[in-house]
Amino acid sequence: MNMFLNSLPMGFLGNLQGWEIPLLVIFGLIIFGGKKLPEFARGAGQAIREFKNASKSAEDTFKQALNEDEQAKAKADKPAASEPKKEEALKA
C-alpha cells in the first residue's frame, strides 16, 4: 500500500505515509468544513491548471524565439543568390 501511495504523482505529497493522508483530510475538514472543502479543492485545481497553461505558453514562446534565432542564423550563413560571387566580380 505504501509503495502505491509513493508512486502517485502528488508533487510534494509524494513523501507522505499512508496514515498521514487521512489525517490531512480530517484536518482539512475541521479547518474548512464540509461545504468549503470542495470549493477550495476546485479553486486549487483551477489554479494548478492556469499555472500549467502559463508555463506551457512561456515554453512555447521560448521555443519559438529559439527557432526564429536559428532561422535568422541560417539565413545569415547562406550567401544571397542575387549577390555576385567574388570570383565572378573579379572576372568582370
Q: Give domain status of residue 87, yes or no.
A: no
Q: Assess if residue 85 is contained within a domain.
A: no
Residue 34 lies in a domain: yes
59 within some domain: yes
**Residue 56 confidence (pLDDT):** 94
Domain membership of residue 86 (yes or no) is no
SS3 assignment, position 3 = helix
Residue 6 has pLDDT above 70, yes or no: no
CA nearest neighbour of 32 among 40, 24, 22, 42:
40
Number of domains within the chain: 1
Range of the domain at 15: 2-77
How far apart CA 17 and CA 15 sit, in angstroms, is 7
Residue 92 lies in a domain: no
Please say whether the dihedral angle defined by the alpha carbons of residues 65, 69, 70 and 75, taken in this order, is positive or negative: positive
Give how far Cα 19 sits from Cα of 14, 25, 36, 52, Å.
13, 11, 23, 30
Residue 26 placed within a domain: yes
Q: Each residue of 39-67: pLDDT tens digit?
A: 888 998 999 999 999 999 999 999 999 99
